[in-house]
Structure 1
């Protein structure tokens, strides 16, 4: 699972999309192809942003990449590019966070026209942190822990059955204990009936 790109694209009606800020993780590509992949990501991020209506979220698969998009009515679209195995839920949580932070830091007047140079240094931190979706998303982390617990419990029951203890045998033994308890109670009652306390 890998996050390759996080970016914000200006997506105003009737205008060409413009990448405003982005962070790319290109270490998986050779030195000779990194620039080509970076251009491909920026170009297709713009195309996906242009095809995403305000208020809409969508996922678009292109070869080995998935483009997760979230367009806002303010005129921006957040794009996260991942591989196909990356969880959609985590990608869209990241998108919401990044778009909200971008709009909080950069008012419309700073990016509405021209080719502004904007900074968003936390993208570098996010692209590193979100490489492992289980660390980034607490729900996935809890789900993984629950799955591990389930496996441990399953292994424990298997080990009991492997030792020759069968559940039916255990039930019969408990029934036998109940019968012995009843007999003991009746004998104790008989023993005590001879003595009367005055």
Structure 2
């Protein structure tokens, strides 16, 4: 059970969304991947808030990850990204608590002056992320909290389903100013990797079982053909 990130955004009356504050626990990812993973979680959170009504709650499943989004009537929004074992009810209760705490520390009159996360003096997210990392502790807290009405939560199977007709995630990634070139390359490679994962898995099986040199493509290809038969 893992909670990877909690992010706070604000959506103004024109629909423009800006990041207010975020916290991440990416220790389960490779050290060299963490920068790109963090950028994409922020990108995904902003995209989901942009595509969400005010007010609304929604849940998007993307592969083994779940993205929960809660947009309040005042435009303040919370997004958390977790694995599949983190309970939906707990996630939305946590987001409600996060936004309440944010408002208690950062008054709405201050929001327009916040241009980047560095401008926001709120420091509570890391502690809340750690506190809600344990679903058992979080679930105990929800007993004194009014449960979220499940019928009002919009469910999506994949991120693509929240996009407008004709929009493509690849195009949004390419046009994003919030993603570095390294992260865009990481995304492109990950997409290609996903398409050929079965081939890669087969290669790995052959390499480890046959004890082949890593730089011997001819021998590897022959071994794969024998192994696949």
TM-score for the superposition, normalised by structure 1: 0.66
1:6 aligns with 2:43: no
- Write out per-residue CA displacement over residues 84-115 of structure 1, whole angstroms, 9 at most, x where no aligned residue: 22100110110000111112211222222551
CA distance in 1: counterparts of 2:122 and 2:44, whole angstroms:
21
Q: Show the counterpart of 1:84.
A: 84
Q: Aligned with 1:14: secondary structure?
A: coil
Alpha-carbon separation, structure 2, partners of 1:106 and 1:36: 29
Does the CA-based 8 Å contact 2:15-2:50 persist in structure 1?
Answer: no
Counterparts of 1:1-198 in structure 2, within 5 Å, are 1-113=1-113, 115-116=115-116, 117-138=119-140
What's the offset of the Cα at 1:136? 2.0
- Deviation string 1:109-140 (CA, Å, 9 cap, x unpaired) is 22225514213322111211212110222178
Residues 11-45 of structure 1: per-residue CA shift (max 9 Å, x gap) = 11324321101101110111110000000000000
Give the TM-score, by structure 2 length: 0.57
Larger radius of gyration: 1
Conservation of the 8 A alpha-carbon contact between 1:68 and 1:80: yes
| Aligned-partner SS, 2:112 | coil
* Cα root mean square deviation, aligned: 1.8
Partner in structure 1 of residue 158 of structure 2: none
SS in structure 1 opposite 2:38? Answer: helix
CA distance 1:139–1:10, shift in 2 (3 Å)? closer
Q: Aligned partners of 1:125 and 1:8: how far apart in 2?
A: 14
Deviation at 1:66, TM superposition (A): 0.9
The answer for unaligned runs of 5 or more in structure 2 is: 144-229
Question: Per the alignment, in what secondary structure is the counterpart of residue 137 of structure 1?
Answer: helix
